[in-house]
């Protein structure tokens, strides 16, 4: 039974204003406030007013959102086609349009479904990339793309980039400049080479800007060094522009009369003197740095103990003056090293980018970045009018969903295609509108170029342009949540009630507290802060045979995962209920969502704990093909089929679901054998071993005769491999098995099929399989907050609340974004980086990591309908004051309760 909850009149009026097709509108919609409903309602009202479906453009953030939007519109219109007159009139009036008074108006509403389906071009509900793809196919030559180009999906893009990198490393053998750059980078970053280059290639567009001498000179100046500075010249300035080497000796003699630390500094001065006389300037400067700088954070160190400083104030004054000079030059030295390293790295990255572009050109494909760049370039060089005219006759109405996640380049595209909407004549001929809906508080995709402050900036810009031509512009705020219970929303508002905790949720530095209203006012709610599970002071003894990365039940992440899984299992067993009154029912697995910030140790431990407790779970929402155990087993099987004498692979394969032997079987078979493992297996008379031999012989014949696709298809199909793998590893394994077969088929389409080559391709692949958990009914969902955007659940767990974002300065490569005025703020290179690992790509700092961290918390909390559980775990380090845990504790301390026993 559904409880009747009337929608407040104010909300209905706000929705009607936002969906009014005669006005342009800009909607700021809280989480769960029905923005998709308003979008669909506006499209329907546009159709009711006689607008042609092909002249309406709806731009969404994801393909799933586009499909959801289309489904809502077509479901409503299909329903209208069969409604009686009175009911149809009520439905039309509910959209905000006047109730039909004439039969022909009702007839028009009934044929809207057919018109939307049959109009050439139809209703355009697309992602921004899909829209760009359409434009580029209309004018490929003007956009400088192949006429029959294909779009690179993420997996194929990663593969091409990896190939480009390999080919550049090979080409470096004949290129002295490139070889020198690679040698320097490899020497400085060591074992992190792969991670370093992956981070560099993610930012390859920024490296491209450093191609010119002017850009390199500007970088050096902006960092605070002279364009002609070198490491050697700055080091000599450090050593000679102040105290002389003879002065170092004199100061060392004074320090010998002081305490232990003073004497240590005296020895460092003597070492610097000896190193200088040996022409080793770098070591001399490092010795001086040990005197003037703290090892921990690079800040100024104490140069004299109190007793000696009181006895020799003249020496103290000299050293403090010298220290101040040293710190300035040390920053300058760090800036030179940053610039040198960045420019050196740009040589390699640009070479890889050039090779990547060549590979794309030869294969006639473009990636998603290309589509935005080429479309923007096309619209900048040409009028958008003729392009849109070719695109089904033009565009009259633009609807933009999730506008807070739109990048600057995407906004430029929207501005160009709507340029003549508000040029005067464009409005005279027919009404043309733009509609945007978003929420700055939910902007969490900065890694894809989202700039939440643009949402407010573009609202002001479009408002001015529309009003300049006497158009109507409606700013609308939607506060009513149709998702969450009052208690959950009250907790959200409490958490972000202060300026410190709300910083970053809205544009600018002004504190704008969150305001939420609950539609489900009668629904009870729970917000619990569980006790933190901390690491033990002393690690327990463990079996030395276990892997070094094995985590037992005492690990905080594992213990936290087991606690959550235990509580969920008890709920399902004991019939715990959700809802209230007539809506009360038992908790189902599909009611529960567990949200994390990243897929780390806890993520895997959580899925494992749920399976151990027998709780149905959808598994991971992202799967690494080459790293999934099912794929690893199948690749090992293929290698054994090609080379049965490989003992390690054979031992691995015998324990897979395909053969089903166990550790005891291998212990009976392998120790004290005289030859290879396959010989021992073949000489055994046990039926299970003989059956394994027969299967291995069959696999060897298959490997010689079949293509990779047929080989794996035969294993997974007629040989029962798929059934055995799913039985042991769970249903999520089906996705990776399907993807492996797809990869095998793609391999055969690209080149002559080879099982050897295919195994190598998969093992070197970094491709990721994205699984849609939105439709995972009857299963607990464990996913990242980014993946959960747009989803909801009755019960939400937040277990990852005790740490703050990794500092951008800890990354292999970091970019400092240019500020609004283009000026470099005050910063310290010595504090900014370890000069042996990091590089700078831009020239001004704008650290928004904590801002987005707070927005992530908002998104996570607003996924919950009835219950929200804060369940943290941590290592031996203290919980940071900026952490979600501390923020929530400060706001809800009086409501803290103990966690239920598992």
CATH for 591: 3.40.50
Q: What is the enclosing helix (H) or strand (E) of 127?
A: strand 124-127
**pLDDT of 841:** 40
Segment 567-584 shows an average pLDDT of: 89
* 32 known member of a binding site: yes
608 plus 638 within the same structural domain: no
Q: CB of 634 within 8 A of CB of 740?
A: yes
In this structure, are 197 and 290 located in the same domain?
A: yes
Q: Token digits for 755?
A: 């099982």
Query: What pLDDT is stored for residue 842 in this prediction?
Result: 35
Q: Which region among 36-50, 610-624, 845-859 has the lowest average model confidence (pLDDT)?
A: 845-859
179 and 104 within one domain: no
Angle at 269 (CA atoms; ends 268, 272), nearest 5 degrees: 85
Return the higher-pLDDT residue of 585 and 187.
585
For residue 691, is pLDDT > 80?
yes
With a CB cutoff of 8 Å and minimum separation 6, the contacts of 355 are 164, 167, 168, 171
Do 422 and 454 reside in the same domain of the chain? yes
Residue 776 has a pLDDT of: 59
30 is in an annotated binding site: yes
Q: Looking up tokens 């800890």, which residue turns up?
A: 810
Compute φ and ψ for 806, nearest 5 degrees.
Answer: -60, 130
* Predicted local confidence at residue 569, as pLDDT: 94
* Domain annotation covers residue 812: no
Does 35 carry a binding-site annotation?
A: yes
586, 615: one domain: yes
% of the chain residues with pLDDT over 70: 86
The Cα 306–Cα 316 span in angstroms is: 10
> For the chain, what is the domain count?
4
pLDDT band at 868 (very low <50, low <70, confident <90, very high): very high
CATH number of residue 122's parent domain: 3.40.50.300
* pLDDT at 321 exceeding the cut of 80: yes
So what's the pLDDT on residue 860? 93
DSSP conformation letters of 730-761: -TTHHHHHHHHHHHHHHHHHHSS--HHHHHHH
144 lies in some domain = no
- Residues whose CB falls within 8 Å of the CB of residue 627, separated by 6 or more in sequence, listed in order: none
The two three-digit tokens of residue 275, written as one number: 């190193």
Note the pLDDT of residue 436. Answer: 92
Q: Are 441 and 403 in contact (CB under 8 A)?
A: no
Q: How far apart are CA 814 and CA 576, in angstroms?
A: 48
pLDDT class for 89, splitting at 50, 70, 90?
Answer: confident
**The predicted structure's pLDDT at residue 892:** 78
Does residue 275 sit within a domain? Answer: yes
Q: Is residue 310 part of a domain?
A: yes
Report whether 36 belongs to an annotated binding site: yes
Higher pLDDT among residues 24 and 803, named by residue? 24
Residue with the bigger pLDDT between 223 and 577: it is 577
Which range of 180-194, 413-427, 523-537 scores highest in mean pLDDT? It is 523-537
Return d(Cα 857, Cα 57) in angstroms, integer: 32
Task: Confirm or deny that 619 is annotated as ligand binding.
Answer: no
Q: Give yes or no: residues 71 and 117 share one domain.
A: yes
pLDDT above 70 for 544:
no
In terms of Cα–Cα distance, which of 874, 879, 813 is closest to 206? Answer: 813
**Residue 807: per-residue pLDDT:** 47
519 domain residue, yes or no: no
The 3-state DSSP class for residue 134 equals: helix
pLDDT score of 426: 47
Distance, CA of 238 to CA of 654 (rounded, Å):
65
Asked whether residue 96 is assigned to any structural domain, the reply reads yes
Q: Please tell me the distance from the alpha carbon of residue 59 to that of residue 51, in angstroms, as a whole number.
A: 18
Which residue, among 483, 481, 465, has the nearest Cα to 473 in the 3D structure? 465
Cα–Cα distance for residue pair 301/295, rounded to 1 Å: 9
Q: Are 225 and 328 found together in one domain?
A: yes
Does position 829 have pLDDT exceeding 50, yes or no? no
Which tokens is 799 given? 């277990």
d(CA 135, CA 388): 8
**pLDDT value at 449 more than 80:** no
Please name the residues in contact with 70: beta carbons below 8 A apart, sequence gap of 6 or more. 123, 125
Question: What are the CA-CA distances from residue 831 to residues 231, 332, 807 (Å)?
Answer: 18, 12, 12
The set of long-range contacts for 745-752, using a CB threshold of 8 Å and a minimum separation of 24, is 745/709, 747/708, 747/709, 748/707, 748/708, 748/709
Is 569 annotated as ligand-binding? no
Model pLDDT, residue 84: 87
User: Is it the case that residue 172 has pLDDT exceeding 80?
Assistant: yes
Angstrom distance (rounded) from CA 618 to CA 700: 35
Same domain, 681 and 764: yes
277 is in an annotated binding site: no
Q: Which of the residue ranges 449-453, 484-488, 651-655, 719-723 would you say has the lowest mean pLDDT?
A: 449-453
Among 66, 72, 122, CA closest to 401: 66
Q: Pick the range with the lowest mean pLDDT from 300-309, 732-741, 863-872.
A: 732-741
Across the range 642-664, mean pLDDT stands at 85
- CATH value at residue 707: 1.10.486.10
> For 177-190, what is the mean pLDDT?
80
Q: Judge whether 502 and 514 are in contact, CB under 8 Å.
A: yes
Asked if 689 and 705 sit in the same domain, the reply is yes
| 681 Cβ contact partners less than 8 Å away, ≥ 6 residues apart | 650, 654, 669, 689, 692, 693, 696
Q: Is 393 annotated as a binding residue?
A: no
Same domain for 14 and 99, yes or no, is: yes
* Chain-centroid distance, C-alpha 244: 53
Containing domain of residue 319, as a range? 152-363
Distance CA 460, CA 671 (A): 77
- Between CA 848 and CA 454 the distance in angstroms is 14
467/701 Cα distance (integer angstroms) = 76
* Dihedral pair phi/psi, residue 573, rounded to 5°: -75, -40
Query: Which residues contact residue 894 at a Cβ distance below 8 angstroms, ignoring those fewer than 6 apart?
Result: none
What gap in Å lies between CA 592 and CA 781, rounded to an integer? 7
**What's the pLDDT band for 628 if we cut at 50, 70, 90?**
confident
Cα separation, 654 vs 637, in Å, equals 9
Q: Would you say residue 832 has pLDDT above 50?
A: no
pLDDT at res. 486: 92
Write out 499-516 in H/E/C secondary structure. HHHHCCCCCCCCCCCCCC
User: Span 502-530, mean pLDDT?
Assistant: 83
Tokens of 828: 């310290």
In-domain check, residue 585: yes
Q: Of 17-26, 137-146, 381-390, 710-719, where does mean pLDDT reach its minimum?
A: 381-390
How large is the average pLDDT for residues 868-889? 84
Of residues 537 and 807, more confidently modeled: 537
As a whole number, the mean pLDDT across the chain is 82
Q: Which of 39-43, 309-313, 417-421, 572-576 has the lowest mean pLDDT?
A: 417-421
- Claim to verify: residue 441 and residue 326 sit in the same structural domain: no
In this prediction, residue 572 carries a pLDDT of: 93
Q: What pLDDT sits at residue 391?
A: 64
Same domain, 343 and 445: no
- pLDDT at residue 543, rounded to an integer: 54
């Amino acid at each position: 039974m559904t409880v009747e909850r009337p929608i407040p009149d104010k909300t209905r009026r706000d929705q009607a204003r936002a969906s009014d097709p005669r006005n342009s509108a800009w909607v700021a919609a809280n989480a769960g406030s029905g923005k998709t409903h308003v979008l669909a309602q506006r499209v329907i009202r546009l159709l009711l007013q006689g607008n042609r479906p092909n002249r309406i453009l709806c731009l969404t953030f994801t393909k799933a959102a586009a499909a959801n939007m289309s489904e809502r519109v077509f479901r409503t219109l299909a329903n209208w086609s069969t409604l009686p007159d009175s009911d149809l009139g009520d439905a039309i009036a509910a959209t905000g349009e006047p109730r039909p008074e004439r039969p022909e108006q009702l007839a028009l509403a009934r044929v809207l479904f057919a018109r939307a389906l049959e109009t050439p071009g139809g209703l355009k509900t697309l992602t921004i990339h899909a829209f760009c793809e359409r434009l580029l196919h209309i004018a490929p030559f003007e956009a400088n793309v192949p006429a029959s180009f294909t779009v690179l999906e993420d997996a194929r893009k990663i593969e091409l980039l990896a190939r480009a990198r390999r080919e550049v490393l090979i080409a470096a053998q004949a290129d002295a400049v490139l070889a020198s750059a690679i040698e320097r980078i490899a020497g400085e970053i060591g074992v992190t080479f792969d991670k370093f280059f992956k981070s560099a290639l993610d930012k390859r567009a920024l490296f491209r800007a450093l191609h010119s001498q002017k850009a390199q000179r500007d970088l050096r100046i902006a960092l605070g060094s002279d364009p002609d500075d070198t490491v050697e010249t700055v080091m000599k300035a450090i050593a000679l522009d102040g105290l002389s080497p003879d002065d170092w000796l004199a100061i060392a003699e004074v320090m010998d009369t002081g305490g232990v630390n003073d004497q240590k500094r005296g020895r460092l001065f003597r070492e610097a003197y000896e190193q200088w006389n040996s022409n080793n300037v770098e070591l001399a400067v490092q010795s001086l740095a040990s005197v003037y700088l703290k090892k921990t954070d690079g800040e100024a160190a104490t140069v004299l103990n109190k007793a000696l400083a009181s006895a020799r104030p003249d020496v103290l004054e000299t050293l403090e003056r010298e220290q101040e000079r040293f710190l300035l030059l040390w920053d300058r030295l760090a800036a030179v090293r940053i610039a040198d390293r960045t420019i050196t790295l740009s040589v390699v990255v640009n070479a890889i980018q050039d090779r990547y572009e060549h590979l794309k050109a030869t294969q006639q494909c473009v990636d998603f970045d290309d589509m935005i760049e080429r479309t923007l370039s096309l619209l900048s060089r040409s009028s958008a009018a003729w392009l849109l005219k070719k695109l089904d006759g033009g565009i009259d109405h633009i609807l933009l969903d999730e506008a807070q996640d739109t990048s600057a380049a995407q906004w430029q595209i929207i501005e160009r295609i709507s340029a003549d909407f508000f040029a005067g004549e464009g409005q005279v001929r027919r009404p043309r509108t733009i509609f945007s809906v978003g929420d700055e508080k939910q902007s969490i995709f900065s890694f894809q170029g989202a700039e939440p402050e643009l949402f407010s900036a573009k609202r002001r810009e479009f408002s001015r342009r529309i009003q300049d031509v006497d158009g109507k512009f409606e700013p609308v705020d939607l506060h009513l949540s149709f998702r969450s219970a009052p208690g959950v929303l009250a907790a959200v508002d409490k958490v972000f009630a202060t300026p410190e905790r709300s910083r970053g949720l809205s544009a600018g530095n002004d504190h704008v507290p969150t305001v939420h209203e609950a539609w489900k006012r009668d629904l009870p709610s729970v917000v619990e802060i569980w006790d933190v599970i901390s690491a033990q002071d002393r690690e327990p003894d463990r079996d030395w045979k276990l892997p070094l990365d094995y985590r037992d039940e005492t690990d905080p992440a594992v213990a936290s995962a087991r606690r959550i899984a235990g509580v969920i299992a008890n709920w399902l067993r004991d019939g715990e209920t959700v809802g209230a009154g007539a809506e009360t029912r038992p908790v189902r697995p599909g009611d529960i969502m567990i949200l994390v910030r990243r897929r780390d140790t806890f993520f895997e431990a959580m899925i494992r704990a749920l399976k151990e407790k027998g709780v149905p779970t959808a598994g991971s929402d992202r799967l690494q093909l080459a790293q999934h155990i099912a794929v690893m087993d199948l690749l090992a099987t293929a290698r054994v089929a090609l080379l049965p004498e490989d003992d390690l692979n054979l031992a691995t394969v015998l324990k897979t679901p395909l053969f089903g032997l166990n550790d005891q079987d291998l212990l009976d078979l392998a120790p004290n054998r005289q030859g290879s493992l396959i010989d021992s297996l073949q000489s055994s008379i046990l039926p299970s071993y003989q059956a394994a031999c027969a299967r291995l012989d069959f696999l060897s014949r298959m490997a010689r005769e079949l293509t990779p696709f047929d080989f794996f298809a035969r294993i997974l199909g007629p040989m029962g491999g798929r059934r055995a793998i799913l039985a042991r590893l769970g249903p999520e394994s089906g996705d990776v098995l399907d993807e492996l077969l797809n990869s095998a088929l793609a391999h055969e389409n690209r080149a002559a099929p080879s099982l050897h080559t295919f195994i190598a391709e998969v093992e070197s692949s970094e491709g990721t399989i994205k699984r849609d958990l939105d439709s995972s009914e009857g299963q607990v969902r464990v996913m990242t907050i980014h993946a959960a955007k747009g989803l909801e659940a009755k019960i939400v767990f937040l277990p990852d609340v005790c740490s703050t974002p990794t500092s951008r300065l800890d990354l292999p490569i970091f970019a400092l974004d240019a500020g609004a005025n283009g000026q470099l703020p005050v910063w310290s290179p010595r504090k900014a980086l370890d000069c042996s690992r990091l590089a700078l790509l831009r020239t001004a700092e704008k650290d928004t990591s904590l801002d987005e961290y707070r927005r992530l918390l908002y998104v996570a909390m607003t996924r919950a309908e009835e219950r929200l559980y804060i369940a943290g775990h941590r290592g031996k380090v203290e919980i940071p004051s900026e952490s979600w845990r501390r923020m929530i504790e400060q706001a809800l301390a009086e409501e803290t309760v103990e966690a239920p026993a598992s």
